[in-house]
Amino acid sequence: MGGRSTLAWLGFLVFGGVLAFFYYGHFSKQRPHTVLFLYASGLAYHDVVHGLFLQTVKKHADSDLTTRIFAVPDATNKLSAATICERVLNTPTDCIVVVGKTLAQILVNLAKKRGVHTPIVLLGADRPVELGLVDSLDHPGGTVTGVFTAFPDESQQAALLYAACPQVKSVLIPIYVVADSDQAVASRAQVLKGYLESKGVSVTLAQLDTFTEAVRRVEGLLPGYDIIMTLENDGLNDSQIVGFAKLAYKYQNGLFAGVLEAISEGALFAYAVEPRYAVEAAFDLMKQIVYQHVHPSKLPIVRHTSSREFIINQKRATELGLTIDVNAVIEKINADPVLECVRGRVRVV
């Protein structure tokens, strides 16, 4: 009797073990995954990246992946942004994707302070080592990895302007100094100034220290200039770009913007990052973390150096009485080593 009882118990345990194996083996594979996406709504680059990321998830991710969106209405409001970042860190997830330098700093610093070890993928936070977000580009360390687009040779935008519009005589470059504490934008502007002046072009750098007065201040300087040029990541927002586009129409100037979206506002030229390249790279990092269980410290930071496009607005050129020979511009680009990264990335609208 005791032997039968023992055999029965052994049989029960074996049967239960087999059931547990199949149950957990099956359902662990089917466990739904979640990724949190944090961005600043209302900023052109963030909004575009947000849309592209959702499209990429829908197109390429497995059906068991859920994306939760956390939008920061005003990234300049550090207290509000920190509150939302706290909420993100308190939400169970497999991975967090965060857009931009400001939100990345807030999120990563809070995660370190709270001892949160959730994997974080940075999207568009340039100079992550200098910002203290990772240990190095090749060996990030910690729980953070990501992708960013390195700044081009500072003279590229000036070289593109001169290649497309060699008749230019005067250029105004506004610099929002409040957002340029490390003088990075001012330094790039000086390089542009030097390049254009070597071609006989007069260049004025206009320092803007009041955000709300940026457009009005530029209007007081603009008459008499051929081109107003804004730079990538110069701290100016969409409302300023729209305001500069309106001024360009009013005073018959050409606007050469550092954001692609400015073309729809009437900019003559734009040279800036095409976000889809960075989004695809961030998505790939996220998939390796979520599905392949690769630790972020083992994933080197992805650096893009050739993800920009040069856009020419032919309609605006016609309105300004300019004749732009696109084929000639492409030939100049192909022959100029400074513009190597722009080859094959010229678009006419």
Task: DSSP for 298-320, please give it.
Answer: GSPPEEESS-EEEEE-HHHHHHT
d(CA 162, CA 160): 5
d(CA 120, CA 94): 9
The answer to whether position 53 is within a domain reads yes
Spatial contact of 110 and 89, defined as CB atoms under 8 Å apart: yes
Amino acid making up residue 204: T
Under the banding of pLDDT at 50, 70 and 90, the label for residue 6 is low
80 and 91: one domain? yes
Under the banding of pLDDT at 50, 70 and 90, the label for residue 76 is confident
Q: What is the pLDDT of residues 140-169, one digit of tens each?
A: 999 999 999 887 777 899 999 999 999 999
Mean pLDDT for the chain overall: 87
The answer to whether position 22 is within a domain reads no
The answer to whether position 23 is within a domain reads no
**138: how many CB neighbours lie within 10 A of its CB?**
9
Q: Please state the φ and ψ torsions of residue 307, each to the nearest 5 degrees.
A: -110, 20
The answer to whether position 252 is within a domain reads yes
pLDDT score of 20 more than 60: no
Which residue, among 266, 265, 349, 253, has the nearest Cα to 310 in the 3D structure?
Answer: 349
**Token pair 């965060």 is at which residue?**
98
The answer to whether position 5 is within a domain reads no
113 and 190: one domain? no
Amino acid making up residue 226: D
Amino acid making up residue 169: K
CB-facing half-sphere around the CA of 298: CA atoms within 13 A: 7
- Provide the pLDDT for residue 15: 54
The answer to whether position 245 is within a domain reads yes
227 and 111: one domain? no
pLDDT score of 103 more than 50: yes
227 and 340: one domain? yes
Which residue, among 245, 193, 196, 248, has the nearest Cα to 222 in the 3D structure?
Answer: 248
Could you tell me the residue range of the domain that residue 126 belongs to? Answer: 32-150+275-304
Q: What is the pLDDT of residues 190-233, one digit of tens each?
A: 999 999 999 999 999 988 877 677 888 888 888 889 999 998 87
d(CA 310, CA 256): 10
pLDDT score of 118 more than 70: yes
139 and 218: one domain? no
The answer to whether position 315 is within a domain reads yes
146 and 185: one domain? no
Four-CA torsion 336, 337, 343, 349, nearest 10 degrees:
-50
313 and 203: one domain? yes
Q: What percent of the chain has pLDDT over 70?
A: 89
- Residue 34 is classified by DSSP as E
- Is 123 strand, coil or helix? strand
Q: What does the block give as tokens for 232?
A: 């990538």
Q: What is the CATH number of the domain that holds 73?
A: 3.40.50.2300
- Provide the pLDDT for residue 240: 82
**27: how many CB neighbours lie within 10 A of its CB?**
9
256 and 205: one domain? yes
Q: Is 245 exposed, middle or buried (0-12, 13-18, 19+ CB in 10 A)?
A: buried
Distances (CA, A) of 55 to 40, 42, 75, 88, 279: 18, 19, 24, 22, 10
121 and 162: one domain? no
299 and 327: one domain? no
Q: What is the pLDDT of residues 324-346, one digit of tens each?
A: 999 999 999 999 998 988 999 99
Total-model pTM: 0.69
Mean pLDDT, residues 270-287 taken together:
92
**85: how many CB neighbours lie within 10 A of its CB?**
25
Under the banding of pLDDT at 50, 70 and 90, the label for residue 273 is confident
Q: How many domains does the chain have?
A: 2
261 and 173: one domain? yes
Under the banding of pLDDT at 50, 70 and 90, the label for residue 288 is very high
221 and 81: one domain? no
d(CA 287, CA 282): 9
Q: What does the block give as tokens for 66?
A: 């859920």
The answer to whether position 189 is within a domain reads yes
d(CA 34, CA 99): 17
The two beta strands, 308-312 and 269-273, are antiparallel
